[in-house]
Amino acid sequence: MRLLKALLVMLVMCLPLLPADAYTKLSPQWYASLADEEARKGDTFYDEGQYLKAYEAYSKAIAYYPVGTATATWYNNLGLNYVAMKQPALAAASFQTAIRLHPLNAVYYENLVRVYISDDQAKARLKALVDYVAYNPPHADAWFLLGLFYNALGDNRGMQTAWSQHLMLAPRSPFKAKICRESPRLCE
């Protein structure tokens, strides 16, 4: 037993001392700062047209800090990067994740709609969304998304109908300012 204690003491004495900041490197703030740094790199790579490097940087940022408002922004940026890489399915998935993480940002919905109408699946997606709101009429965000979809397709009547329903279900909607800018008649 004495030998075991002596060996343990020697082992502890031989271990290198941890640097003073070793424990702070495990904190959420440390991971958030790493994530911010990677996201900034991703923005730079995206602006330079280096989309593969931007993808890697945004992915690292998300891995370092997977949940939060900032993470929603990184998913949105990743989606824009996928659009530039001509990967609409991956872009849509990124925008959907951004919406799940921060459902009050209209830009994420707009980016999702842009991807949805950019290919030959637009009519099928519109029908699926119309069917969804028909079966889930109290879902205010779906009505907002449907209005964006109609607006992007140039269907003013459909947009006004959908957004009118949205405002009826959510009179204090965070999207009301956008709706009022696009269709002032609905806010009179």
* pLDDT tens by residue, 6-45: 555 554 455 455 444 544 566 788 888 999 999 999 999 9
pLDDT in tens, 108-126: 999 999 998 887 788 888 8
Asked whether residue 62 is assigned to any structural domain, the reply reads: yes
Task: Among 57, 85, 118, identify where a domain stops.
Answer: 118
Q: Which two tokens stand for residue 178?
A: 């956008």
Torsions phi, psi for 11 (to 5 deg): -60, -45
Query: What is the extent of the structural domain holding 140?
Result: 120-188
- Residues 6+ away with beta carbon under 8 Å from 75: 58, 62, 94, 95, 97, 98, 101
74 and 152 co-located in one domain? no
In the chain, count H helices and then E strands: 10, 0
48 and 104 co-located in one domain? yes
Asked whether residue 3 is assigned to any structural domain, the reply reads: no
85 and 130 co-located in one domain? no
Q: What is the pTM of this model?
A: 0.77
130 and 84 co-located in one domain? no
Torsions phi, psi for 17 (to 5 deg): -75, 140
Residues in the chain: 188
pLDDT in tens, 122-170: 888 888 888 988 888 888 999 999 999 999 989 999 999 999 999 999 9
Quote the number of domains for the chain. 2
Asked whether residue 55 is assigned to any structural domain, the reply reads: yes
